[in-house]
Amino acid sequence: MNNELHPIVIPVIEEQLHIDTQLIETGVVRITKRVTEDTQSVDLPTTREEVVVDRVAIYQYVDTPPAVRYEGDTTIIPVLREVLVTEKKMLLVEEVRITKHRIIEQNEQEFTLRKEEITVERSVPEQERPA
């Protein structure tokens, strides 16, 4: 026998870790939007003014022209005429009375209102469903 030394080969093993990710579909989401319309009636007050004109005969002599005056909601406007008499005087012929009346009326109107609703539905794929 040969006393020659033979090298002994001892394999060295190393383990390595390899991590990878994989996309798996776990479900599907479906979103729907629905618009609904609702008609509502609204009773809105409206305001208008009416004017009433009354002519009141006075036929009274005055020394100076009377001023426009106010009695509550009524405006009184004197109307004058000069007349010839032995002496010249002013005759208050009439007064014009203007009165305002406020009238409130209800007017029904319809308005269309829109409303959106969202629905979310989730479904699980076949391979994920329990048997």
Q: How many residues does the chain have?
A: 131
Element (H, E) at 35: strand 28-62
Domain ranges in the chain are 28-128
Tens digit of pLDDT at every position of the chain (131 positions): 556 777 888 888 888 888 888 888 888 888 888 888 888 888 889 999 899 999 999 999 899 999 999 999 999 999 999 888 777 788 899 998 889 989 888 888 888 888 888 888 888 777 666 65
Report the amino acid identity of residue 125: P
Q: Taking CA 9 as the corner, what is the angle to CA 8 and CA 12, rounded to the nearest 5 degrees?
A: 140
Please say whether the beta carbons of 37 and 112 come within 8 A.
Answer: yes
Report the amino acid identity of residue 130: P
